[in-house]
Amino acid sequence: MDILHTLLGEDIKAGLLVILNLIVIESLLSVDNAAVLATMVIDLPKEQRSRALKYGIVGAYVLRGVCLFLAAWLVKIWWLKPLGGLYLIYLAFDYFKGKADKAAGEEEEIDKSKNWLYKATVGTFGTFWATVALVELMDLAFSIDNVFAAVAFTDHVFLIYTGVFIGILAMRFVAQAFVKLMEKFTFLETVAFIVIGVLGIKLTASLYTHFSPESPVAKFMEGETADIIVSVFTVAIFLIPVITSVIFNFPKKHTIEPEVAEAAEDVLDKS
């Protein structure tokens, strides 16, 4: 029992709820990451794509592993939490801006040629290695997402370790199941970014708790009750739409672009 308290915190049920949330969030992020990796290599010759993806996936594992070791250190640097919160808010904003642009008829695409790293390396190392370098840069960004998403749920070091480790496993095992799930329930990606935005707000609010630690609001936000509320909200916002979609077909199912799911699945198959 002491081991469980060490791993999950004082409230074991709350700790298990956090882990459940982390599995969902990290798996959905991994699907999104896989789709981006596929987009990065799509302009390479067919025989080079598989090799570039393998390098990218190895990089993803390595960088998440590094983050696993650094997580306990990162959480002690107080200003990284609000900075990470702003980053998560940016991710959510960028996602919804992309959807708005797409709805307005603007084609959403990733242009490698405009990236500073790609431009700096393509002339010296060629298209293939410049693409690999860009993929690794994306992996670094994804690994940061991984850590900040875990930290937003809890300050408990072992739970943060669990969250980052789940991110590693999700890239290899769990995310493929979520590709299938997202093919059926396409709104789950939007829900995931709503949650990411909420987690970003929670992390950014740590700026207030740092400077006013004795205020009632700060004590509430830093307490287990706030963590439980965020965890329950996360489970509910994923579960309720799925249930209503199955029973009432609202939100509607089967509106995904097949190539997006296929691209993500192809990347995950290669891992």
- Say what the pTM is: 0.70
Q: Please report the pLDDT score of residue 148 as a whole number.
A: 76
Dist. CA 44–CA 50, nearest whole Å: 10
- Token couple for 12: 């074991």
**pLDDT at 228 exceeding the cut of 80:** no
**pLDDT at 118 exceeding the cut of 60:** yes
Dist. CA 24–CA 78, nearest whole Å: 26
Mean of pLDDT values over 11-25: 75
Q: Please report the pLDDT score of residue 165 as a whole number.
A: 76
pLDDT digits (tens, 9 = 90+) for 51-101: 887 787 787 778 877 877 777 676 777 787 788 788 888 888 988 888 887
The H or E element spanning position 95 is: helix 80-103
What percent of the chain lies above the pLDDT cut of 70?
A: 70
Q: Please report the pLDDT score of residue 242 as a whole number.
A: 86
Q: Please report the pLDDT score of residue 267 as a whole number.
A: 63
Q: Where are the domains of the chain?
A: 1-269
Average pLDDT, the chain: 75
Q: Please report the pLDDT score of residue 207 as a whole number.
A: 87
Dist. CA 195–CA 237, nearest whole Å: 8
Region class of 154: left (phi > 0), else alpha (psi between -120 and 50), else beta: beta
Q: Are the C-beta atoms of residues 88 and 199 closer than 8 Å to each other? A: yes
